[in-house]
A = this chain, B = another copy of it.
Amino acid sequence: MHEDRPRAPSSPAPAAQEGGKPEADTAPDARTAPVPEVTKGQHALTIEDIARLSGVSTKTVSRVLNHSSVVSDAMRARVEGVIARTGFVPNAQARALALRRNFLVALVHDGRDRGIAEEVEDGLLDAMADSDYALLVHRVPGFSPAPQFAPRRTDAHAAPNPDTVLAPLTRFIARHRPAGLLALPPLSEHPGLAEACTQAGVSCLRIGATRDGMGLAGPDRAAMAQAVSWLVAAGHRRIALVSGPETGFGAQAREMGYLDAMADHGLDRGPSLIEPGDYSRASGLAAGRLLLELSPRPSAILACNDAMAAGVLQAAHERALAVPGELSVIGFDDTPLAELTAPPLSSVHLDWRAIAAEAFARIVDPDRKHPSKQDRPLDAYAGYRLVERGSNAPLAPPAPRYRQTTRAPAPPPGPAIKTPPQHEAD
């Protein structure tokens, strides 16, 4: 940074003088002599130190570290003993440089839709917990599917000004060279993303349904269809949907699931029962207001994510509608916020953590890294289930005449979180 300047006042002393770190300086032989085995707080240990302490070459230590199958057991035990005693940890940067393969996984999002971001991040951290990998979190400006950044509507398929998202992302990749990249929706739906990553030499995993069908998606369509069926089984007939942005492919899958099930049950699925949102709470509130004004009011509203469902709850609150007494509300994704609403939100749980774990596995495992196998649907891995909290209930048996005051007959007291018939899609 400040090379060639008169004098940098930061580091008090040159690193070479800091500790007693032995280096092959002029007379390497003199260094085989007494050296404190556990050199704490001084300069970091290197593989060379371990080699010297073990009386072997650096390459042998390297082999031990990399679990090479050719080292003899005796040698392995000796080296591992020294490593354990000294607490040596190999330097990830140096390994990355030599291997041309970094021990970083990048999670890339656009700063919105935090709900599933948390789930995926947690799942990744779980998966990486005992590995050598670390998690890089990166944010890019965000692109069209989100309405507030879409000044003018263009063809949904058109690449929306690739420079603002792809160019910075490419620079990020080139700079830090992560082993793999995980893109979160809606970024994962960016048309040029996969190719940009491939060109930059990192394997790209996209989370969520994508238009090319290669995203790491959960069974969105089936899950939403099942949610409708559950409501129907609970006596609901007039079931509305707050859909996602029509530019989003994942949102489309969920909407299709709704349409599937409504058709299967022979229910009215007129357009008025579907209000589009943009995954934000505000849009859910707006949609909820509209839906609750419908002439025969829906007795249940499904939302394509939890934030919009929270907005629907708010709309119900505004109209003094009892939830779940007079209105059932069900969200989607089962994000942490679902248990923070009042009442706690029932939600369709998709196992984003498992999907994240699978993504990590594909990045790390050379076999799965093969282009033909990576970044494709994951239906086999992730199930779904309805997590019932308190925002849904069976339709009250006594059909309401005009304003029959037979208030919700004390819904059956059950456990706060009930998980009815788990449907593992496999």
Contact = CB atoms under 8 A, between A and B. Distances in A.
A69 B96 CA distance: 31
A72 to B, nearest CB: 13
A93 B90 contact: no
A114 B314 contact: no
A242 to B, nearest CB: 15
A89 B63 CA distance: 32
Interface in A1-59: 1-5, 8-10, 15, 40-41, 44
Contact of A366 (B10, B174, B176, B366): B10
A380 interface: no
Contacts of A317: 342-343
Contact of A132 (B69, B99, B175, B366): B175
Given A137-B125, A281-B340, A369 B10 contact: yes
Contacts of A336: 114
A249 to B, nearest CB: 25
B343 A340 contact: no
A10 B199 CA distance: 18
Contacts of A213: none
A122 B118 contact: no
Interface in A52-107: 63, 66, 68-70, 87, 89-94, 96-97, 99-100, 102-104, 107
A201 interface: yes
Given A66-B3, A342-B314, A121 B97 contact: no
* Interface range on chain A (Cβ under 8 Å from partner): 35 or more
Contacts of A339: 281
Contacts of A4: 63, 68-70
A100 B93 CA distance: 10
Nearest to A1: B66
A137 B135 CA distance: 6
Contacts of A89: 171, 174-175
Interface of A: 1-5, 8-10, 15, 40-41, 44, 63, 66, 68-70, 87, 89-94, 96-97, 99-100, 102-104, 107, 111, 114, 118, 121-122, 125, 129, 132, 134-139, 170-172, 174-177, 199, 201, 281, 307, 310, 313-314, 317, 336-337, 339-344, 366-367, 369-370
Given A3-B66, A10-B366, 15 more contacts: A3-B63, A4-B69, A10-B369, A10-B370, A41-B199, A44-B201, A87-B171, A91-B174, A93-B177, A103-B176, A104-B136, A118-B118, A125-B139, A135-B138, A337-B337
Q: Name the 7 nearest CB pairs between A and B, nearest first.
A: A89-B174, A10-B366, A93-B96, A317-B342, A310-B340, A93-B93, A125-B139
